[in-house]
Amino acid sequence: MFAWLLDAAYLMFLAAISPWLIVRRLRQKKTIAGLGVKLSGDLKLEQPRRPCLWFHAVSVGEVLQLQTLLTRMQPLYPEHEIVITTTTGTGYDVALKKYPHCTVHYFPLDFSWAVRRALRQLRPSLIVLVELELWPNFLNAAKAASVPVAVINGRISEASFKNYQRFAWLLRPLFESCSLIAAQSPAHAERFLQLGAAPARVFQTGNIKYDGIETDRLNSHTQNLRAFFGIAPDELVFLAGSTQSPEEEFAIQAWETLRGEHTHLRLLLVPRHMERFEEVAELITSRGHDIVRRSLGPEARGARPEENKLELPDSSTRLTPLASSPILLLDTLGELSRAWGLADIAFVGGSLTDRGGQNMIEPAGYGAAVLFGPNTWNFQDVTTALLSREAAVVVRNADELTDVMRELLRDELTRRRLGVSARQFVLSQQGAADRTIALLARVLRRELEISQRINHAA
């Protein structure tokens, strides 16, 4: 009965917002990604006879978190087919690219028929939710099917926690149903406990985002990006990444103001959403600047399309106007994590808007001088730790961004000290992936023992 009531509520909600969704999609000239699969729950295995481990990652950030975990888990469970589900189209595209040996699907909407069909077809040995994604029909269906559910890298922001507390009576059974909650920090673990999670099932493992963070600026992917964009060793790079409007404009304004004082300063923009790549490109050209776009391939650097390997410019190279004057735009998916390795000064977007910040661990790992705005509640633990170690700087508006950059460009010692402190912090936090894998293995062993006892009794 509860499932039917939820289905009815979902349908009424969809009916109410459908005109807005249709208008929005028509304006964006695109369809809802994976709508058929989301409504039907028609998730299939590549090899139906194999057992399955199901990992759900909502969008790009969560998908990328799985990289270190899956690299270490797949050899431990070679008999299992790994299934990754995502909610967003960009997350789906990145999962296909990053995990070619896994099965990738869209996550079903929380209609009872969709989640039951998905569970029936996948028959997972374990469901792993990255950070937090609790849907009532899905969790109830998993419980009915005796499938354990684990939350890894679990986090509940302070704002979300306050909202959850208002519905604690309704949410408590969902948290109680989780077989494992591996929280990022003691504060997050305490929030899970207060919302009803069983104390024996809640652990503080640390943040798996730190594991697998690249800290070597000379890695081949970063060096290929340096060659593509024609960045010489003696040039400084200001990278504004995971940005939202109007943060790109703020970054351009800062670069325009400072490039007269620092002619060796390059600007690289990486918008958060692919839907805005064209918008940002138009913003750049509207301000009278040339642009080099990563998506155009080697020909954007004057090379023939068949030339896949680009030579790095040395310190004696005299850069052409194409290499020295345009703004650089990284308008491809999945490359930002390596592009941060180009940054001497890194501004992490979504922090001067109401987004709540984006991942600042990656630029910190490379030892960049990390800047972000005051709105970082989605990464409060990380920002607090970086600021307490004097490993990052908060800029509250466009003017402060320009002023802080000016000081860092003038004071190389301070700029480098910020970067060294940030990198040392990231290295000190690693190890969460191994702790998480050990806990997941414990859940799988426990479920296997229960299954064997049931089969023996039968």
In a domain, residue 22? The reply is: no
Rounded Cα distance, 155 and 169, in Å: 20
In a domain, residue 20? The reply is: no
Encode pLDDT of 107-132 as tens digits. 999 999 999 999 999 999 999 999 98
CATH number of domain containing 185? 3.40.50.11720
Residues 229 and 208 in one domain: no
Mean pLDDT over each residue of the chain, to the nearest integer: 89
In a domain, residue 18? The reply is: no
In a domain, residue 227? The reply is: yes
Encode pLDDT of 132-145 as tens digits. 888 999 999 999 99
Quote the number of domains for the chain: 2
In a domain, residue 92? The reply is: yes
* Mean pLDDT confidence for 161-181: 91
**CB count in 10 Å sphere of residue 71:** 13
In which domain, by residue range, is 402 found? 220-428
In a domain, residue 6? The reply is: no
Per-residue confidence band for 42, with pLDDT thresholds at 50, 70 and 90 = very high
Residues 187 and 278 in one domain: no
Q: Which residue has the tokens 């986090």?
A: 155
In this predicted structure, what is the pLDDT of residue 296? 86
Whether 389 has a pLDDT exceeding 90, the answer reads: yes
Residues 407 and 270 in one domain: yes
CB 150 within 8 A of CB 180: yes
pTM over 0.85, yes/no: no
Residues 240 and 379 in one domain: yes
* Mean pLDDT confidence for 255-272: 95
Residues 196 and 277 in one domain: no
Residue of 332, 338, 360 lying closest to 273 (CA atoms): 332
Per-residue confidence band for 451, with pLDDT thresholds at 50, 70 and 90 = low
Residues 441 and 367 in one domain: no
Residues 440 and 412 in one domain: no
CATH number of domain containing 378? 3.40.50.2000
Residues 232 and 361 in one domain: yes
Per-residue confidence band for 320, with pLDDT thresholds at 50, 70 and 90 = very low
Whether 67 has a pLDDT exceeding 60, the answer reads: yes
In this predicted structure, what is the pLDDT of residue 306? 37
Residues 400 and 436 in one domain: no
Encode pLDDT of 201-241 as tens digits. 999 999 998 998 999 999 999 999 999 999 999 999 999 99
Long-range CB contacts (< 8 A, 24+ apart) of 309-316? 310/224, 310/227, 310/228, 311/227, 312/223, 312/226, 312/227, 313/227, 313/230, 313/231, 313/232, 313/233, 314/232, 314/233, 315/232, 315/233, 315/234
Encode pLDDT of 401-437 as tens digits. 999 999 999 999 999 999 999 999 999 999 999 999 9
In this predicted structure, what is the pLDDT of residue 30? 65
